[in-house]
């Protein structure tokens, strides 16, 4: 087993990995950018190494700096978390070259599965069902592209081969829109991923986004931990996940897991990963992609599979351990739901909202888990994504899990930036969601936020007043504020350059933010 692990990430996921390491008796090394100097993952590590300024390209995405930090700290392994370098084949190879274990798949497996055209070919060879499509489309050859599109059929998706996070995707409903969609998708793919390759895929709609959690060891064994339902999406980004899926029967679950295991074995995959599928109303499913890392939504699987620790399994198999081959029979037990709590305003088209956390209060009680980096006085940097935390609940049934989530959302208090907590509360009360009548574009087609109510205004005005009173108490007798109430100079400078000034309004908009 490893003695010391560097966590090449920040915030919530870094804290998550640290907790498991402490339970296993493994020392941890944190890396941090300048605006993250006071984050909890830095404070709680056995050692912390400064790796650069705020922009991720100068810190968390800098392979050379992270490898040097690992070497200088004498670590045995690096855990990449998710995001940043977690699916970067060059980073995995750099770890191998430095004789440091990368807790994830090999660079070769990552590269072949990260390219969606290559992954489709691997799945075809492994007899995993794939969505009908056309690979390696040349956007410059309009005649050949139009012919390929006719074979696939409309509507279809133009997708970036190296895409991810909902980028590089265009829906084409009629032939005359094909040329422009290819140009846009290819251009976005080139600028975002450095690879302009595109392909066509039949548009399966309505469809559910169903994924299977796998853990594969170096001895040829692959464990499958059932499915997660990830159909509630906005702009191709997941906002809520649950396990199991209301639409998956035991027979379908077995087929899904068999396909996911075949996908892992066919690609020589090792460590934790997720095989994603689209499933239609008849229960037919098609391979979508492999996420070669731990997923944001992994806690829902942990909760319905007897409290399994997927991070501990990652570490074990990276150290040469074995896992059980096949579908894990112990679950799913009960139901788990995860809401992604983001710094964004659901009443203003989910405009990003970041800044000083005046006050935060975590929800508690049976079956409630809040994975987060938040604390009162934290200044959330503008350099990274808007995820503030993940609220996860478990209960015996889906209905009870929804009720528990409703209560937990009421108990979760975050004062300062606007959050999407009101959105999740509305979602929990939505009849379609409660019935499980959801699909990948359901949210955008059938859901809208109501106007903020007077009751909500009063509650949030009271919270803002309480937060301001708390900050005033933190001032000393000379009128100088404490370090808790001062914003990070790095973050303040970036916010001044990238956002407008935000003020609390006590007028009609109540607790809502006004732009001055």
d(CA 229, CA 213): 11
By the 10 Å C-beta count (0-12 exposed, 13-18 middle, 19+ buried), 132 is classed as middle
d(CA 307, CA 509): 43
DSSP state of 175: G
Active site residues: 293
d(CA 123, CA 266): 7
CATH of 208-446, one of 3.60.15.10, 1.10.357.10, 3.30.470.20, 2.40.240.20: 3.30.470.20
**pLDDT score at 104:** 98
Band the pLDDT of 49: cuts 50, 70, 90: very high
Q: DSSP readout, 299-325? A: HHHHHHTTT--HHHHHHHHHTT-----
Q: Is the pLDDT of residue 167 over 90?
A: no
**pLDDT score at 116:** 84
Model confidence, pTM: 0.85
**pLDDT score at 483:** 41
| Superfamily of domain 132-202 in the CATH hierarchy | ATP-grasp fold, A domain (3.30.1490.20)
**pLDDT score at 394:** 98
Please state, rounded to an integer, the average pLDDT across all residues of the chain: 89
**pLDDT score at 140:** 86
**pLDDT score at 484:** 40
d(CA 422, CA 410): 9
Structure tokens, 9:
């990430």
205-264 pLDDT, tens digit per residue, is 899 999 999 999 999 999 999 999 999 999 889 999 999 999 999 999 999 999 999 999
CB atoms within 10 A of CB 336: 29
Higher model confidence: residue 462 or residue 30?
30
Least confident span in 170-184, 460-474, 491-505: 491-505
Instruction: Tell the residue number behind the tokens 């990830």, with chain if given.
Output: 230
Q: Is the pLDDT of residue 504 over 70?
A: no
Calculate the dihedral angle through the C-alpha atoms of 283, 288, 289, 293, rounding to the nearest 10 degrees. -40
Band the pLDDT of 101: cuts 50, 70, 90: very high
Least confident span in 40-54, 181-195, 247-261, 264-278: 181-195
Contact 57, 90 (CB under 8 A): no
Band the pLDDT of 194: cuts 50, 70, 90: confident
57-100 pLDDT, tens digit per residue, is 999 999 999 999 999 999 999 999 999 999 999 999 999 999 99
Contact 116, 124 (CB under 8 A): no
Domain extent listing, the chain: 4-103, 132-202, 208-446, 460-515
Band the pLDDT of 41: cuts 50, 70, 90: very high
Q: For domain 4-103, is the CATH number 3.40.50.20?
A: yes
Structure tokens, 506:
């006590």
Q: Do domains 4-103 and 132-202 have the same CATH topology?
A: no
467-491 pLDDT, tens digit per residue, is 555 555 555 444 544 444 444 444 4
Higher model confidence: residue 51 or residue 512?
51
Total residues found in the chain within this entry: 516
């Amino acid at each position: 087993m490893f003695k010391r692990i560097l966590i090449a990430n920040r915030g919530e996921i870094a804290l998550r990995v640290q907790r498991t390491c402490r339970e296993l008796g493994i020392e941890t090394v944190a890396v941090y950018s300048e605006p993250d100097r006071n984050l909890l993952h830095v404070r709680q590590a056995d050692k912390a190494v400064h790796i650069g300024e705020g922009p991720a390209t100068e810190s968390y995405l800098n392979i050379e700096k992270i490898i040097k930090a690992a070497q200088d700290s004498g670590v045995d392994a690096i855990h990449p978390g998710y995001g940043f370098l977690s699916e970067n084949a060059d980073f995995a190879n750099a770890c191998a070259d430095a004789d440091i274990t990368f807790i994830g798949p090999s660079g070769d497996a990552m590269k072949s599965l990260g390219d969606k055209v290559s992954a489709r070919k691997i799945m075809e060879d492994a007899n995993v069902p794939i969505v009908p499509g056309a690979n390696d489309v040349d956007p410059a050859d309009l005649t050949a592209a139009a012919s390929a599109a006719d074979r696939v059929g409309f509507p279809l998706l133009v997708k970036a081969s190296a895409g991810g996070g909902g980028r590089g995707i265009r829906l084409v409903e009629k032939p005359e829109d094909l040329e422009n969609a290819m140009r846009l998708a290819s251009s976005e793919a080139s600028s975002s991923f450095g690879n302009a390759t595109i392909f066509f895929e039949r548009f399966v709609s309505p469809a559910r986004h169903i994924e299977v959690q796998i853990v594969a060891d170096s001895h040829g064994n692959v464990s499958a931990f059932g499915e997660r339902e990830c159909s509630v999406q906005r702009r191709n980004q997941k906002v809520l996940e649950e396990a199991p899926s209301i639409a998956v029967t035991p027979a379908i679950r077995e087929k899904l897991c068999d396909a996911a295991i075949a996908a892992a074995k066919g690609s020589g995959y090792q460590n934790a990963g997720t095989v994603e599928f689209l499933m239609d109303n008849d229960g037919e499913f098609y391979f979508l992609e492999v996420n070669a890392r731990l997923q944001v939504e992994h806690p829902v699987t942990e909760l319905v599979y007897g409290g399994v620790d997927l991070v501990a399994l990652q570490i074990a198999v990276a150290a040469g351990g074995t896992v059980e081959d096949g579908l894990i029979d112990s679950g799913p037990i009960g139901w788990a739901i995860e809401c992604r709590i983001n710094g964004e305003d659901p009443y203003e088209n989910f405009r990003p909202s970041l800044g000083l956390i005046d006050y935060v209060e975590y929800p508690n009680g049976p079956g409630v888990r809040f994975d987060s980096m938040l604390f009162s006085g934290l200044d959330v940097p503008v350099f990274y994504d808007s995820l503030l935390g993940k609220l996860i609940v478990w209960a015996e049934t889906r209905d009870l899990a929804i009720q528990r989530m409703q209560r937990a959302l009421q108990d979760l208090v975050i004062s300062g930036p606007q959050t999407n907590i009101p959105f999740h509360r509305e979602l929990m009360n939505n009849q379609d969601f409660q019935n499980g009548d959801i699909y990948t574009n359901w949210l955008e087609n059938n859901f809208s936020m109501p106007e903020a109510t007077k009751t909500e205004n009063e509650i949030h005005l009271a919270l803002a007043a309480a937060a301001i009173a708390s900050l005033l108490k933190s001032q000393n007798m000379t009128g100088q504020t404490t370090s808790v109430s001062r914003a990070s100079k790095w973050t303040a400078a970036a916010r001044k350059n990238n956002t407008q000034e935000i003020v609390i309004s006590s007028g009609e908009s109540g607790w809502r933010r006004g732009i001055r």
